[in-house]
Amino acid sequence: METIVIIVFLAGYLAITLEHNLKIDKLIPALAMMAILWAIIALTHMDVFEVNAQLKELEPTHIDEILLHHLGKTAEILVFLLGAMTIVEIIDYFDGFATIKGYIKTRSKRKLLWIFSILAFILSAIIDNLTATIVLVTILQKVIKDRETRLWFAGLIVINANAGGAWSPIGDVTTTMLWIAGKVEAGSLVVRVLLPSIICMIVPTVVAMRFKAFKGEVDVEEKQEALKSKFGPTMLYLGLGSIVFVPFFKTITHLPPYVGMMLSLAVVATFAEIYSNAKFAISSAVDEEHHETAHHSPVHSALTRIELPSILFFLGILLAVAALESLGILFNYAEQLNEAIPQTDIVVMLLGIGSAIIDNVPLVAASMGMFSEGTDHPLWHFIAYSAGTGGSMLIIGSAAGVVAMGMEKIDFFWYLRKIAWLAFIGFVAGALCFIAMRDFLF
C-alpha cells in the first residue's frame, strides 16, 4: 500500500507544480491529496508512527492520535498566518504602505535599485516576502513608467525579498514553520542566517547595478499623491511594530507564536476601529441590515480580503506530508539519502535548488519529517536559508516570484535568461558564507 500512497502523493504534487498549465488552483489537488492519503491509511489499517526525536526512532501510535497531533501543529501555523495577513490588510485599508513611496525622492536608477533592494530585504523580514513584493511592485509601477526597466527592478525585488524572508521567523512561511515546530529559535535564526542572507542580497545587486538597465535616471512624478487616510503612517508603524513584537512575546512567555500574533492583532484592530469610527466588532457575523456602520469596519474589511485559498493550500499540503511522515516513509527516505549522499550540505543545497522547481512549503515540511536533529541544529538554519532563497532561481519558484510575474506579466524565459543566474550566484555566495560561519564561528 505504501506504493499507492507514494503514487497518490506524487500525482498530487505534479498537479500542484503544473498549476498554471492545468489552470486549476493548487489548493484543489492539495486538499484532495490530503484527504485521499488519510483515507487510504484509515481504510487499509496501515500502521502509523510518531518520530521520537531524542531516540531517533519510530514509535507506533493510533491514527486518531497522530492525526490530531498533526492537525494541532498545522493549526498553529494557519492561525499565525491568519493573524499576520489580517494585520497587513488593516495597514492597507488605511493606505499605510503609500507612506513608503513618500521617502523615494531620487531619480538615479542605481540609487533606486538599492532603495528597492533594501526595502525588499527589510520589509519581507517583517510582513513576509509575498506581501513585501506586492507592496514594492505596486510602488514601482508608480515610480517607473518604462516597463522594460520595471521588469529588471521586479526581478531584483524577488531575489531580495526572498533573501530577506529567510533570516526572519516571520519572513517566510517556511521559516515560520520551522520556528513554530521548535526546530529553530528566533534569536539564533537571525544570528546565523542574517549575514548569509545579506550576502545573497548584495552579490546579485552589485552585479546588476552595472547593467545598462540600471544606468541613468528615471522620470519621477513631481506631484506627490495625497494619502487616502491621515492615519496611514501611524497604522503602518503600529502594524509592523506589532508583528515584530511577536517573537519577543514568545521569548518572554514561552507560549506558541500564534498567541502573540492574536494579541498583536487585537491591539492593531483596536486602533483601527477607533480611527475609523466604526462599530467595535472584530466578528464578521454582524447583521449589516441592523448596523449600518458594520461594513465600514476596517477589521471586517481586512478579514474578507485575506487569502483563504493560500490558507487552505497550506492545510492540505502540510497534512498530506504529515501522512507520509506518519507512515515512516520520510524517516526511512532520510536514512537512505544520508547513506547515498553522506555530505548533508549537498543535500540541503539540492533542496534549495529544488525549491525553485517545486513549492518550498512541502519541501520544508518533508525535511521536518526526514531529519530528527534537535532545536537550533545548524541543519535547520541551513534549510531555512536554502529553501527561502533557492526559489528565486525561477520566476515560479517562490510566492514572491509568482505574484511579481502576475503583476508585471514577466515572461518565464525572460526571467530564466536575465535574472536566474543572478539568483544562483547570490544563493551560492550566501550558502558558502553560512558554511564558513558554521565551521569557524559557531
User: Does the pLDDT of residue 220 top 60, yes or no?
Assistant: no
pLDDT-derived band of residue 173, with 50, 70 and 90 as boundaries? confident
State how far the Cα of 290 lies from the Cα of 46, in Å rounded to an integer: 53
| Mean pLDDT computed over 366-376 | 82
State how far the Cα of 121 lies from the Cα of 201, in Å rounded to an integer: 8
- At 93, list the grid cell: 485599508
pLDDT-derived band of residue 128, with 50, 70 and 90 as boundaries? confident
Between 225 and 72, residue with greater pLDDT: 72
Distances in whole angstroms, Cα of residue 354 to Cα of each of 7, 181, 363, 382:
19, 22, 8, 14
Q: What is the pLDDT of residues 307-328, one digit of tens each?
A: 788 888 889 988 998 898 888 8
Please give the mean pLDDT across all residues of the chain.
85
State how far the Cα of 238 lies from the Cα of 229, in Å rounded to an integer: 15
DSSP assignments along 376-389, one per residue:
T-HHHHHHHHHHHH
| Mean pLDDT computed over 124-129 | 89
User: Does the pLDDT of residue 22 top 50, yes or no?
Assistant: yes
Half-sphere exposure of 181 (CA within 13 A, CB side): 27
User: Does the pLDDT of residue 281 top 70, yes or no?
Assistant: no
Q: For residue 287, what pLDDT is reported?
A: 45
Between 7 and 365, residue with greater pLDDT: 7
From 7-21, 52-66, 253-267, 340-354, the region with the lowest mean pLDDT: 52-66
pLDDT-derived band of residue 288, with 50, 70 and 90 as boundaries? very low
Q: For residue 226, what pLDDT is reported?
A: 59
| Mean pLDDT computed over 427-435 | 95
Listed by start position, the domains of the chain span 2-440
Residues 386 and 347: beta-carbon distance below 8 Å:
no
pLDDT-derived band of residue 181, with 50, 70 and 90 as boundaries? confident
State how far the Cα of 270 lies from the Cα of 299, in Å rounded to an integer: 9
User: Does the pLDDT of residue 102 top 80, yes or no?
Assistant: no
Sign of the Cα torsion 16, 88, 293, 98 reads: negative
- For the whole model, what pTM was predicted? 0.80
- At 436, list the grid cell: 564558513
User: Does the pLDDT of residue 242 top 70, yes or no?
Assistant: yes
Q: For residue 154, what pLDDT is reported?
A: 93
Q: Which helix (H) or strand (E) holds 140?
A: helix 129-143
pLDDT-derived band of residue 18, with 50, 70 and 90 as boundaries? confident
State how far the Cα of 169 lies from the Cα of 178, in Å rounded to an integer: 8
Q: What number of other Cβ atoms are within 10 A of residue 52's Cβ?
A: 11
Between 298 and 221, residue with greater pLDDT: 298
Q: Is 95 left (phi over 0), alpha (psi -120 to 50) or beta?
A: left
Among residues 134, 138, 195, the alpha carbon closest in space to that of 167 is found at: 195
Phi and psi at residue 356, to the nearest 5°: -75, -20
pLDDT-derived band of residue 433, with 50, 70 and 90 as boundaries? very high
* CB crowding 304-321: b at 16 or more within 10 Å, else e: eebeeebbbbbbbbbbbb
User: Does the pLDDT of residue 164 top 60, yes or no?
Assistant: yes
Q: For residue 230, what pLDDT is reported?
A: 82
Q: Is 2 left (phi over 0), alpha (psi -120 to 50) or beta?
A: alpha
Q: What is the pLDDT of residues 46-75, one digit of tens each?
A: 988 886 655 566 788 899 999 998 999 889
Between 290 and 223, residue with greater pLDDT: 223
Q: For residue 278, what pLDDT is reported?
A: 47
